[in-house]
């Protein structure tokens, strides 16, 4: 749903037109560094108490207290024992790997050139839960390590379904409403399509790429188009 959803919204035309600095930052953010954009989501959504309902605030404050407590205690201890290089190796790099994992999985789940974002007036809950996300198959060892997080459609039907029942739930959904399900297999062409075309919101075309709207500033997108593998 446009505006209301918190993750992987398309870019708005007025954001591209606002300022040169913001435009360049957005092009990099939705292009080369998109596999780490969950960091921006984390900073924008997880620390602003105004974005939570009143009954959620006590748990949110506990969560934030734990984060800041680790920063205040854990970081100095890591640096004391192993120096800045140890902090970089034992905290920062695992943190970046986690966000790469988180961003890449959720981006593939929620972004495809044929799946539109819709306004609240046009949005239909049942249709969106079945048809608005993507089930993506990965090599089996990745699916095992990630507890079948790629079996994504059941999660939108009901977040209460535990990971060990996701495949049974997906099979049931596919049996009953299979024609509405979007399925894909992870490959380089899939990633290249998302990173180079799924950018700016358009009601009719769903997405317009940066290099179509602002070609003179879309060098990062042209770089990806030229050098990313294109095999399925």
CA distances from 162 to 144, 149, 190 (A): 14, 10, 28
CB atoms within 10 A of CB 151: 23
Mean pLDDT of 164-180: 94
- The domain limits of the chain are 15-227
Mean pLDDT, rounded, for 223-232: 92
The DSSP secondary-structure symbol of 211 reads H
- Contacts (Cβ under 8 Å, ≥6 apart) of 80: none
pLDDT for the residue 6: 79
> Token match 């500033």: residue?
217
Distance CA 38, CA 101 (A): 9
Give the per-residue pLDDT at 214: 94
Query: Structure tokens of 110?
Result: 């929620």
pTM confidence score: 0.88
78: which 2 tokens?
Answer: 């890591």
pLDDT at residue 3, rounded to an integer: 86
Q: How many angstroms separate the CA atoms of 75 and 141, rounded?
A: 33
Q: Is the pLDDT of residue 232 over 90?
A: no
CA dihedral (20, 15, 128, 48) positive or negative: positive
| Residue ranges of E strands in 130-230 | 134-137, 182-185, 200-202, 206-208
Q: Confidence class of residue 75 from pLDDT cuts 50, 70 and 90?
A: very high
Among residues 159, 112, 156, 167, the alpha carbon closest in space to that of 130 is found at: 156
Sign, Cα dihedral of 130, 132, 137, 143: negative
Q: What does the mean pLDDT of the chain come to?
A: 93
Q: How far apart are CA 55 and CA 197, in angstroms?
A: 40
Residue with the bigger pLDDT between 18 and 184: it is 184
E strand intervals along the chain: 134-137, 182-185, 200-202, 206-208
Q: What is the pLDDT of residues 134-146, one digit of tens each?
A: 999 999 999 999 9
Joined together, the tokens standing for residue 102 give 């988180």
**Could you read off the pLDDT of 32-45 as tens digits, one per residue?**
999 999 999 899 88
């Amino acid at each position: 749903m446009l505006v209301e959803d918190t993750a992987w919204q398309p870019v708005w035309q007025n954001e591209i037109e606002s300022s040169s600095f913001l435009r360049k930052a957005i092009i990099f953010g939705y292009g080369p560094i998109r596999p780490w954009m969950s960091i921006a989501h984390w900073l924008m959504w997880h620390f602003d108490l105004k974005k939570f309902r009143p009954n959620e605030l006590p748990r949110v404050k506990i969560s934030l207290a734990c984060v800041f407590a680790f920063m205040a205690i854990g970081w100095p201890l890591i640096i004391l024992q192993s120096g800045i290089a140890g902090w970089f190796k034992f905290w920062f790099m695992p943190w970046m790997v986690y966000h790469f994992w988180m961003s890449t999985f959720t981006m593939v789940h929620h972004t495809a050139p044929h799946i539109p974002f819709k306004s609240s007036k046009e949005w239909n809950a049942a249709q969106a839960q079945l048809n608005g996300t993507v089930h993506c198959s990965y090599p089996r060892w990745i699916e095992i390590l990630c507890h079948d997080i790629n079996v994504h459609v059941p999660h939108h039907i009901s977040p209460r379904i535990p990971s060990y029942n996701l495949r049974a739930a997906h099979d049931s959904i596919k049996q009953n409403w299979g024609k509405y399900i979007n399925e894909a297999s992870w490959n380089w062409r899939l990633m290249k399509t998302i990173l180079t075309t799924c950018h700016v919101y358009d009601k009719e075309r769903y997405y317009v790429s940066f290099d179509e709207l602002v070609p003179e500033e879309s060098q990062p997108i042209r770089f990806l188009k030229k050098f990313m593998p294109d095999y399925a």
